[in-house]
Copies of this chain bind each other. A is one copy, B any other.
C-alpha cells in the first residue's frame, strides 16, 4: 500500500515542476516576465518572426494555450504581430526591443535556477537524470 503519494514518479514530477516554475518565476518577475513567456522568448531569441503554429509545436502545448500566452505577451509589450505575406490567416510573431534587451539577464536567471536544482549532481548524474526524463517523456508521448 501507499504505492502512490510521495513515492510515485507522477507526484514527484509534479512537485519538481512546481518548484522549478516557482523558482524561475521569482527570478524573472523583476524583469516583468512569467515562466511561459520566458519559454516563448527562448524560441524567439533563437529565431524571430515565426508563426503561432510553429511556436505551439516547438513548446508542445495546445494551440489555445499558446494563443493566450501570446496575448499576454503582446499586452506586456514583449511581442508584435505582423501579417504574413504568404498566408493571410497567419500573423508572424516578432520580438520588441524590450524583449530583445532581456535576453542575457533572463537566460542568466534561468541558468541560476537550473544550477540550484542540480546542485550536488555531477556531470554523469545530470546526464542520467535528463536521459531518464527524456525516456519517460517518450513513453508517455507514444502511449
Interface size class of A (residues with CB under 8 A): 35 or more
Query: A118 vs B15: C-alpha distance in the bound complex, in angstroms?
Result: 17
Given A23-B140, A139-B120: A133 and B13 interface contact (C-beta under 8 Å): yes
Question: Chain B interface: which of A48-56, A70-78, A89-97, A124-132?
Answer: A124-132
Partner among B4, B15, B107, B130 whose Cβ is within 8 Å of the Cβ of A137: B15
Q: Kindly report which residue of chain B lies nearest to residue A126, judged by CB atoms.
A: B9
Please indicate the chain B residues that have their CB under 8 angstroms from the CB of A60 in the complex: 15
| Residues B39 and A130 in contact, CB atoms below 8 Å apart | no
Q: How far is the CB of A41 from chain B (nearest CB, A)?
A: 10
| Residues A130 and B46 in contact, CB atoms below 8 Å apart | no
Please indicate the chain B residues that have their CB under 8 angstroms from the CB of A23 in the complex: 140, 143
Query: A60 vs B22: C-alpha distance in the bound complex, in angstroms?
Result: 13
Residue interface bits A99-110, CB-to-B below 8 A is 1, else 0: 000000001001
Query: A52 vs B113: C-alpha distance in the bound complex, in angstroms?
Result: 31
| Residues A132 and B129 in contact, CB atoms below 8 Å apart | yes
| Residues A116 and B140 in contact, CB atoms below 8 Å apart | yes
Q: How far is the CB of A82 from chain B (nearest CB, A)?
A: 24
| Residues B132 and A128 in contact, CB atoms below 8 Å apart | yes
Q: Kindly report which residue of chain B lies nearest to residue A12, judged by CB atoms.
A: B133
Partner among B46, B119, B143 whose Cβ is within 8 Å of the Cβ of A116: B143
